């Protein structure tokens, strides 16, 4: 194995540690805040049931990521540069979801957030980002608008 490949694994190891810790902290925070609400039962879920459930899964995935990071070889000292394109696209996607959702509705907001975030990954092409966005709009319409009957209009004009 080359020294460059070893360096990439070392960078990946530190990123996995950071990601795992972030997932555990976020999951535990979600559990902590979710416990402030009524939990309910499996058949009659309260407001705290979902955040506690998702927080638990997120914390367990974080622990799993941390365990996996411990199995990777140590770093050779190669530093990674920040991925500004990815970071900026994620922030722009969140801002776009809020603005487009407020003035355009669920379908355009879902398209915008998915497309902008997908473009942030250098491995995605314009075509694959477009396809992913269309599929995510279909999924969000079925899950949030039809199945859960969320009070978020599909399209809003103005």
Are 61 and 23 spatial neighbours (Cβ–Cβ below 8 Å)? Answer: yes
pLDDT tens sequence across 20-75? 899 999 999 999 999 999 888 888 888 888 889 999 999 999 999 989 887 766 65
pLDDT tens sequence across 81-134? 778 888 899 999 999 999 999 999 999 999 999 999 999 998 999 999 999 999
The encoded tokens of residue 98 equal 């809020």
Domain assignments of the chain as residue spans, ordered by start: 3-70, 84-147
Statement: residue 6 has pLDDT above 70: no
Sign of the dihedral through C-alpha 142, 143, 149, 153: negative
Which band of pLDDT confidence, cut at 50, 70 and 90, is reported for residue 7?
very low
């Amino acid at each position: 194995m080359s020294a460059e490949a070893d360096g990439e694994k070392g960078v990946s190891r530190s990123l996995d540690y950071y990601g795992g810790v972030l997932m555990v902290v976020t999951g535990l925070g979600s559990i902590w805040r979710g416990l402030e609400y009524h939990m309910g039962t499996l058949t009659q879920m309260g407001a705290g049931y979902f955040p506690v459930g998702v927080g638990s899964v997120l914390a367990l995935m974080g622990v799993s990521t941390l365990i996996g990071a411990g199995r990777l070889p140590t770093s050779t000292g190669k530093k990674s540069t920040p991925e500004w394109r990815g970071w900026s696209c994620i922030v722009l996607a969140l801002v776009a979801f809020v603005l487009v959702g407020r003035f355009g509705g669920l379908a355009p907001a879902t398209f915008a957030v998915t497309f902008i975030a997908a473009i942030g990954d250098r491995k995605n092409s314009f075509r694959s980002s477009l396809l992913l966005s269309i599929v995510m709009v279909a999924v969000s319409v079925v899950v949030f608008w039809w199945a859960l009957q969320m009070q978020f209009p599909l399209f809003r004009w103005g």
